[in-house]
């Protein structure tokens, strides 16, 4: 079965390649609608919307026997959900909130699969990883924000990038923080005979 990733994220593409999964990228174009308030519910809802969008478009093109992987990641800290920063000042604000403490990173994943003329089937799950950051000075935060790296990252940082210098520790799946819990994804695919 052909596998499609409903995301243009370079990090998700790299993680799928890392575990030997061949895929094509078909980014979701759905207008995201959030009705949930808890972070795990939010990422599950958004990953489902992305998978449904791409699955529907592929089916409309007459494609069959395929799998779609939709994913969404957010950071949760102090009862607030942090997505991608709107601008550099928003990134600075987020980093000031995160530095010197612990927060959670949630990634929701939806697997959609379709055989021939059968309706598509869906499975959704989420993973949570605790991340603890060292304290950062205002100057360090500003320099990191100026690097541009935080701009397309949930919570305004990349654990696998320059911000690694400020990561004290994690509890959970590292790849989940990068953007896709590939270990759990592979297990969920195997459980359904899709891998």
- Active site (catalytic) residues: 72
Is 27:8 a contact under the CB 8 Å cutoff?
Answer: yes
CB 100 within 8 A of CB 134: yes
- Owner of token pair 């808890």: 38
Annotate 4-39 with b (16+ C-beta within 10 A) or e (fewer). bbbbebebbbebbeeeebebeebebebeeeeeeeeb
Q: Are 29 and 53 in contact (CB under 8 A)?
A: yes
């Amino acid at each position: 079965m052909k596998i499609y990733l409903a995301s243009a994220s370079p990090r998700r593409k790299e993680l799928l390649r890392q575990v030997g999964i061949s895929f094509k990228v078909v980014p979701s174009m759905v207008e995201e609608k959030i009705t949930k308030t808890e972070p795990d519910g939010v990422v599950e809802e958004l990953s489902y919307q992305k998978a449904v969008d791409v699955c529907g478009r592929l089916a409309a093109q007459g494609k069959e026997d395929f799998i779609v992987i939709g994913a969404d990641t957010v950071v949760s800290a102090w009862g607030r959900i942090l997505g991608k920063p709107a601008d550099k000042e928003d990134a600075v604000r987020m980093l000031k909130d995160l530095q010197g403490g612990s927060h959670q990173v949630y990634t929701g994943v939806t697997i959609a699969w379709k055989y021939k003329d059968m309706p598509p089937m869906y499975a959704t799950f989420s993973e949570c990883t605790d991340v603890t950051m060292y304290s950062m000075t205002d100057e360090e935060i500003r320099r990191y924000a100026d690097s541009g790296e935080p701009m397309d990252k949930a919570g305004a940082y990349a654990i696998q990038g320059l911000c690694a210098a400020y990561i004290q520790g994690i509890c959970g799946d590292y790849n989940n923080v990068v953007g896709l819990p590939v270990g759990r994804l592979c297990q969920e695919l195997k459980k359904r005979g899709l891998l």
